[in-house]
Amino acid sequence: MAIIVNLDVMMARRKMSLNELSEKVDLTLANLSILKTGKAKAIRFSTLDSICKVLDCQPGDLLEYSKESTGSN
């Protein structure tokens, strides 16, 4: 089971770079990159709220549940 992060998909739809998103949500590039690659173990609701506001999307647009294991924990 895994949570899949579709941040890169939403950024592409909004034609927004990682640098631009980082500035707008006030999150470091390193932390945003960890989230984007799906390596994050947690996300604060305040961070999720900021990303959703900037990308004009819902949390469900960014996060997806999969029953299939990705092999990484």
51, 20 contact by CB (below 8 A): no
Computed over its alpha carbons, how large is the radius of gyration of the chain?
12
- Give the tokens for residue 29: 């590039």
Strands (E), the chain: 2-5, 63-66
62: its two tokens = 């960014």
| 52 vs 10: CA distance, rounded Å | 10
**Count, residues in the chain:** 73
**Along the 73 residues of the chain, how does pLDDT read in single tens digits?**
699 999 999 999 999 999 999 999 999 999 999 999 999 999 999 999 999 999 999 999 999 999 876 555 4
Can you give the pTM of this predicted structure? 0.86
Domains of the chain: 2-66 (1.10.260.40)
